[in-house]
Amino acid sequence: MRLKPAAVALIFAALPAAAAEDFVLENELALCMGCHGENGVPSEPDYPIIWGQEYFYVYTQLRDYAAQRRDNEIMSPIAAEYDRDQAKLLAEHFAAQVWPDIQADLQEGDQQIAERGITGGQCSACHGKWQGDSRIPRLAGQQVGYLLKTMLDFKNEVRMNAPDKISTMKQLDDDTIAALSRYLATVDVQ
């Protein structure tokens, strides 16, 4: 859903000062950490880990949020505050952090269901062993709740900034997507 300009302006007004002129990296990081964690573990199960995420991926996501190609009530107004260079500084910072360890468990049958989905969707063509590389995000060890949400967001045409994922996810039933989320969350980060 597209926020009306007026609504966007309201959110802007409510945000901590982050205008391009008085950008201080530490202050902005404090804002991010409120949700993405002090030590890399996010505050909510369906918030993504961004510590140790790929630099170029983080950067493009911030740009996409800002341009509302990836439209999200929380992140779009935050990202809209940064210009390209500031987004790059934020991305550099998070890419240089260590990916945190989180707890996730497989259910019986997950492995087989997930692998079938992966072959059908030709996922490994881009995602390889799920460790991420440049424009491809790391998914190994990501939060189950976020993986599930973002894959369903693709499927239900909520997340629009990687439109090719939409038809890929539409091929998968919700049980497969749930199994995939648990599977990816348990893949070791190398």
Q: Which residues bind another protein (CB under 8 A)?
A: 55-56, 60, 69, 116, 118-122, 124-126, 128-129, 133-135, 160-164, 166-168, 170-171
Q: What is the DSSP string of 113-137?
A: HHHHHHHHTTTHHHHTTSS-BTTBP
Residue 45 binds: one of ligand HEC, another protein, none (C-beta under 5 to 8 A by kind): none
Establish if 139 lies at the interface with ligand HEC (CB under 6 A).
no
Q: How far apart are CA 159 and CA 190, in angstroms?
A: 28
- Residue 20 or 111 with smaller CB distance to ligand HEC: 20
- The first and second tokens of residue 83, run together, are 């210009």
Q: How far apart are CA 38 and CA 89, in angstroms?
A: 18
- For residues 154 and 169, the answer to whether their CB atoms sit within 8 Å is yes
- For residues 93 and 50, the answer to whether their CB atoms sit within 8 Å is no
Establish if 137 lies at the interface with ligand HEC (CB under 6 A).
yes
For the bound state, the minimum distance from the C-beta of residue 124 to another protein, rounded and expressed in Å, comes to: 5
Establish if 63 lies at the interface with ligand HEC (CB under 6 A).
no
What residue ranges bind ligand HEC (CB under 6 A)?
Answer: 28, 31-32, 34-36, 47-48, 50, 58, 61-62, 70, 72, 74-75, 78, 90, 137, 149-150
